[in-house]
Structure 1
Amino acid sequence: MKMTDARDIKADRATVWAALLSPEVLKECVSGTQELTGSPEDGFQAVVTQKVGPVKATFKGTVTLTEMVEPESLTLSGEGKGGAAGFAKGAADVRLEEIEGGTRLHYDVDAKVGGKLAQLGSRLIDGFAKKMADQFFTRFQEVLEAPEDEEGAPTDEPPEAKKKGWLHRLRG
C-alpha cells in the first residue's frame, strides 16, 4: 500500500526536524505505543499494540532513520513482529519545505503486512495503513502546533493537544 500527502505545520523547519528525531514525539504520535527506546543514530525499539479488524496484536520491532539530510529529508522505516498475527513493515520518505508561516511536510508511505493480517484482505489492510499514517502525521502536527504560555508550559488546551514539555526542551 502506497500513499502520498503533505501537511502545513506552523513551526519552523528546524523545530519540525528536531521533532522527527525525538523519541518522545514519536511515542506520542504512534497510536498504541507502549514503549519506545533508543536514539536516531542507533534506531528505536518499539512495542505497539494495534487492532486491525478482528485481529489484535502487540508488535515488537524497530524504527530506523536513514537518508538524513538535515533539515530537509529523511526516511523513517519500521518493522514489527506480532507473533501469530504476522508482521508489519513500512517506510515513510519525509521531506521538509519552508513555506510562509511554517513548514510543509511531504510524506510518501509504503506499508506491507504478512501472516494472519494479510489474510484480512487488501481493502481492510490498505484502509488501516492509511488511517495509521494519517493519525501519525495529524498527531505530529497537533503536537507541534499546540500553544504554550510564556514560560513554555502547555496552556489549558485539551489533553490531546498538549506538548508535554518536549518542545520547550527542544527550543530551550
Structure 2
Amino acid sequence: MELSETHVLPVPQARAWEALNDTEILKLCIPGCDSIDAEGENAYAVAMTAVVGPVKARFKGRMELTNIDAPKTYTIVFEGQGGAAGFSKGSATVNLEPGETADTTRLTYSANAQVGGKLAQIGSRLVDGAARKIAGEFFKRFSAQLQGASGPANESADAENGGDAGQEQGKKSWTAWISKS
C-alpha cells in the first residue's frame, strides 16, 4: 500500500515540527491510539486499536524516527503485530516547508506499508480505504490541536481516550466510520 498527500497546517513550520514530535498531541490525534511511550532516543512503543472492514484488532508495535533534519524532515519506520488479525510494517517520509504565508506550513508525506494475515486477506482496496480515512481523521484532529480548538475532533479523541458518557458512542461511530470503506 502506498499513500502520499499534502496538507497545509495552520501554524508556522517550527510549531508544526514541535507538535509532530509531541507524543501527547499525537496520541490525541491518531484514531484508536491507546499509548505512545518513549523507548529510547527517537524510538517509541505504540498501542492502538484499528478496525478495517470485518477485522478489529489491537496492535502493539514500535516506531522509530530516522533521517532527522529538524525542522524539515524525518522518516518514520514502523512495525506492529495485531495477533490473529496480522501485522503491518513500513515507513513514511514527512517533509515540512514554509507555507504561502508566515503562519502556515506545507506538510507532505509519502508512506509505504505492507500488511499480512487477515488484513491482507480482506483486500488491498479495503485496507487502502481505511488507511486514507485514518490519515484524514488524523489531519483533521491535528489541525484542531494546532489551533487549540475544543471542537468535535478533540471531543471524539476524548471519548476514545477515556471520556465519560460519550465513550461508547465514540467507539461505535469510530467502528462504523472505518467499516464504511
Using structure 1 for the length normalisation, give the TM-score: 0.82
- Work out the number of aligned pairs and report it: 155
In the other structure, the counterpart of 1:160 is: 153
Q: Is the 8 A contact 2:7 2:107 kept in 1?
A: yes
Q: Which residue in the other structure is 1:85 paired with?
A: 85
Is the Cα–Cα contact under 8 Å of residues 39 and 45 in structure 2 kept in the other structure? no
Tell me, yes or no, if the aligned pair for 2:144 and 2:151 is still in contact at 8 Å: no
Unaligned runs of 5+ in 2: 159-181
CA pair 137-39 structure 1, distance change in 2 beyond 3 A: farther
Kept in 2, the 8 Å contact 1:9–1:145? The answer is: no
Q: Distance in 1 between matches of 2:54 and 2:39?
A: 33
* 1:44-77 deviations in Å (ceiling 9; x for gaps): 1011011111111100101111111011111122
TM-score (norm 2): 0.78
Counterpart amino acid of 2:142? F
**Alignment RMSD:** 2.1
SS at 1:107 equivalent: strand
Change in Cα spacing, 1:40 to 1:65, as seen in structure 2 (3 Å) is farther
Task: List alignment gaps of at least 5 residues for structure 1.
Answer: 148-156, 165-172
Identity of aligned residues (%): 43
Q: How far apart, CA to CA, are the structure 2 residues paired with 1:52 and 1:44?
A: 24
Partner of 2:56: 56
Distance in 1, matches of 2:26 and 2:40, equals 11
Contact 2:28 2:154 (8 Å CA) reproduced: no
The answer on whether the counterparts of 2:75 and 2:92 sit within 8 Å (CA) in structure 1 is yes
CA distance in 2, matches of 1:67, 1:42: 11
Q: Which moved more, 1:68-77 or 1:33-42?
A: 33-42
Letter in 1 for 2:131: A
Runs of 4+ in 1 over 3 A off after TM superposition: none
Alignment pair present for 1:75 and 2:68: no
Question: Compared with structure 1, are the counterparts of its residues 44 and 145 closer, same or farther at alpha carbon in structure 2 (3 Å cutoff)?
Answer: same
